Amino acid sequence: MELIIVRHGESEYNTDVSESLDSSLTTKGILQVKKTAEHLKNFDLSEFEGITSPYLRTLQTAKIIQGETDIQFRVDNGPAELTIYYYDIDFLDVPKRDFDFEWPSDWDGRFAAKENLEDFLCRVESFLSSLDDDKKYLIVSHGSPVHTMSNLMQGIREVPEWSDSIANSSITWLENDNLKYLSKVVYD
């Protein structure tokens, strides 16, 4: 299996403009993603399938990448953000949005907001195990899932401590258990 995992661009949540976990990209985030998408079109991605987290900032990121690469995306909760830190609410509501992506037929958009680390790790493991070993995927996700998927693909079963090690709109590229690069930034 080969994975290219892109973290979403800078979001309103990242800059404290919004308290909503389901916030949109900032103008800077859009420019970051455009640079990343331009970089990705230099590679033969014709065999890659696209998967994106359902949050607005990842949908916007996937849409920009799709415009440059023609990769078709589907929405999946597997690479969605870790929600352990949101103690003031019980559920996050993430509506089905009007993007030209394939959505799960049973989408209700409701997520438990107090996911613990073990549940998160199991969700990401389950997501990775659902992928076909003989295929290639471009996944748009968030910092914690990107780092966790990278660890799992290398045989490390742990959720890393949160840090800024996965930069906005960066590329992490894995072939089987070989990490080509982690959090490569291609914009200024």
pLDDT value at residue 83: 77
Instruction: Give dist(CA 14, CA 24) in Å, integer.
Output: 10
**Is the four-CA dihedral 38, 39, 42, 44 of positive or negative sign?**
negative
The residues, ordered by sequence, that sit 6+ positions from 53 with a Cβ below 8 Å of its Cβ are 8, 59, 75, 76, 77, 79, 80, 81, 140, 141, 142, 145
pLDDT value at residue 18: 81
Q: How many domains does the chain have?
A: 1
Residue 77 three-state SS: coil
1 within domain boundaries: no
154 within domain boundaries: yes
Token pair, residue 135, equals 């295929």
**pLDDT tens over the chain, length 188 residues:** 999 999 999 999 888 888 777 899 999 999 999 999 999 999 999 999 999 999 999 999 999 999 999 999 999 999 998 876 655 667 778 889 989 999 998 888 887 777 888 989 999 999 999 999 999 999 999 999 999 999 999 888 988 776 567 899 999 999 887 778 777 888 76
158 within domain boundaries: yes
43 within domain boundaries: yes
17 within domain boundaries: yes
Q: CATH number for the domain including 147?
A: 3.40.50.1240
114 within domain boundaries: yes
The domain in which residue 80 lies consists of 6-10+12-31+38-184
105 within domain boundaries: yes
CB 8 within 8 A of CB 25: yes
pLDDT value at residue 161: 73
